Amino acid sequence: MSAKNGTPRQERFDLVVVGGGVAGLVSALCAATEGDVLVLTKGPLLSSNSQLAQGGIAASVADDDSPALHAEDTVRTGRGLCRPSAVTVLTEEAPARIRDLVELGVEFDDGLGLEGGHSRRRVVHAGGAATGDRVARVLAARVSAHPRIRVAEGERMLALWRSRERCVGVVTDRRAVAARATLIASGGAAALWRRTTNPPGALGEGMAAAYRAGAGLADLEFVQFHPTTLVDSSLLLSEALRGEGALLLDEHGRRFTDELAPRDVVAREIAARGTVLLDLRAIDRGRFPALMGSLVDEGYDPAQTPIPVAPAAHYTVGGIVTDLDGRSELAGLYAAGECAATGVHGANRLASNSLLECLVFGRRAALAALDEPGLPTRLATPAVPAAPDRVTAGLRRRLWEDCGLIRDAAGLGRLASAPHLLTRLIAETALTREESRGSHFRADFPTDSAEFERHVVLRPGSEAALETWL
């Protein structure tokens, strides 16, 4: 900031990106071809959820595969709720986005992985199960070296800056930043649950800020629980292990499920038994050096003994309602990655479609954002936002107990008065969806219902709406 006549000059950018995961980094790089970009991350740049991604990125790059087959698998997993146009965009653009990464310097391993719900081997991976880390490091290095991108690490967005029905930037814990367009890429909210695979910062702050500013949120009831997380830990044991032949065994050492069934099915099968064992003894463990090392660090010997696993909250399907170019319902505001609800995942995300979502929709959102009109010369200073809602251990326990793998009206009703905005909104969508579909299972409505083959959308000041997205 510089001063003229004693008045601080507002710093202005073409695009401000909130989040330094894969969605944020990709969108910053795309936008920087034509504009000046600021990337905000509340922690260090290399500490996102994206870095933890193990299995890889789905794309139809094999000879026996096609975008149509990838789309078929995505739609089947999404249980009647995937937005068809978004699935087409995702699966058709996937091979080109993998080529982009290769051009930027990502070195993928030979061979493709197989994961639950996929009818073909189509998961590209790097460093065995270190895909997210390898991709994020390459993107972060490019972003940090780019002359038109500024990175502000350790700076937290507190609220969106709204002026006359338009988003004109953000208010952070340090300053107000004005921008022609604002892109939220702040990731999901799975760390709101007691047991989670996510780092502690995945609290859905971008979703709550967007709602407070007037944007719609949708599909919040669909929370994916990863079936195989090491007990008493957040260490995820990738689906790719089951793709390579790892078996799930009950307390008597017997198999009880199809290891590659959709995640919600496997997770509920495991939850019904409490803790189960993942047997890695017969697979080629050498393909997963980082994971095997982590297990040894945790005191397990995967060559000798099956590993105790249980489900944990992993991925939030819903978020800020966007069109296929990342536009939210508030002018000037865009969203991409896990915080967005394009409708692409329907009621359940197909494994390895989320990093892909970051690549495809992050790029599209950045390109669309550059078309936003310029800002007025003068903008009134924004109000200082209230302190963000506190996330306590008690709140996380309540979400786990009342909005976990299996929900009912009584538990959700209790949550609907929680002191945390996003928790209340999650409870409201889960209460509205009086059926079981994909990753949302209601004990009091255990089957699906045609009436709910629609998205639950919440907008400030309105009742929950049920909508069909084409």
Ligand X SMILES: Cc1cc2nc3c(=O)[nH]c(=O)nc-3n(C[C@H](O)[C@H](O)[C@H](O)COP(=O)(O)OP(=O)(O)OC[C@H]3O[C@@H](n4cnc5c(N)ncnc54)[C@H](O)[C@@H]3O)c2cc1C
By CB under 6 A, name the binding residues for ligand X: 18-24, 40-43, 48-50, 52-57, 131-132, 156-157, 185-187, 197-198, 201-202, 205-206, 236, 315, 337-339, 352, 354-355, 358
Q: Which of 113, 216, 180 is nearest to 460 (CA)?
A: 216
CB of 156 or CB of 433, closer to ligand X: 156
Shortest CB 224 distance to ligand X, Å: 9
Q: Which is nearer to ligand X, 152 or 412 (CB)?
A: 152
Rg (CA), the chain: 21
**Pairwise CA distance, residues 120 & 135, whole Å:** 23
Tell how far CA 459 is from the center of its chain.
21
User: In this complex, which beta carbon is closest to ligand X, that of residue 248 or of residue 340?
Assistant: 340
The residue (of 226 and 407) whose beta carbon lies closer to ligand X is 226
**C-beta separation of 292 from 127 below 8 A:** no
User: In angstroms, rounded to a whole number, what is the distance separating the alpha carbons of residues 261 and 374?
Assistant: 49
Q: By C-beta, is 259 or 448 nearer to ligand X?
A: 259
- Reading the block at residue 139, the tokens are 């993107």
Output the smallest distance, CB 157 to ligand X, in A. 4
Look-up of token digits 């009950």: 250
- Closer to ligand X by CB, 237 or 418: give it: 237
Pair of tokens at residue 324: 């296929």
Q: Out of 162, 263, 327, 396, pick the active-site residue.
A: 263
Task: Report how far apart, in Å, the C-alpha atoms of 126 and of each of 46, 98, 123, 141, 234 are.
Answer: 17, 12, 10, 17, 21
Select 348 or 352, whichever has its Cβ closest to ligand X.
352
Asked whether 292 and 124 are in contact (CB, 8 A), the reply is: no
Separation between Cα atoms, residue 108 and residue 215, nearest integer Å? 38
Burial of 414 (0-12, 13-18, 19+ CB in 10 A): middle
Closest approach of ligand X to the CB of residue 457, in Å: 20
Q: How far apart are CB 32 and ligand X at their closest, in Å?
A: 17
What's CA 282's distance to the chain center, in Å?
A: 32
Q: How many CA atoms lie within 13 A of 375 on its CB side?
A: 24
SS3 23: helix
Please confirm, yes or no, whether 263 is among the known catalytic residues: yes
Q: How far is the CB of 451 from ligand X (least distance, A)?
A: 30
Other Cβ atoms closer than 10 A to 377:
5
Sequential DSSP letters for 197-236: SS-TT-S-HHHHHHHHHT--EE-TT-EEEEEEEETTS--B
Angle formed at CA 399 by CA 405 and CA 258, multiple of 5 degrees: 15
Report which residue's Cβ sits closest to ligand X.
21
For residue 16, report the phi and psi dihedrals to the nearest 5 degrees.
-110, 130
Catalytic residue list: 263
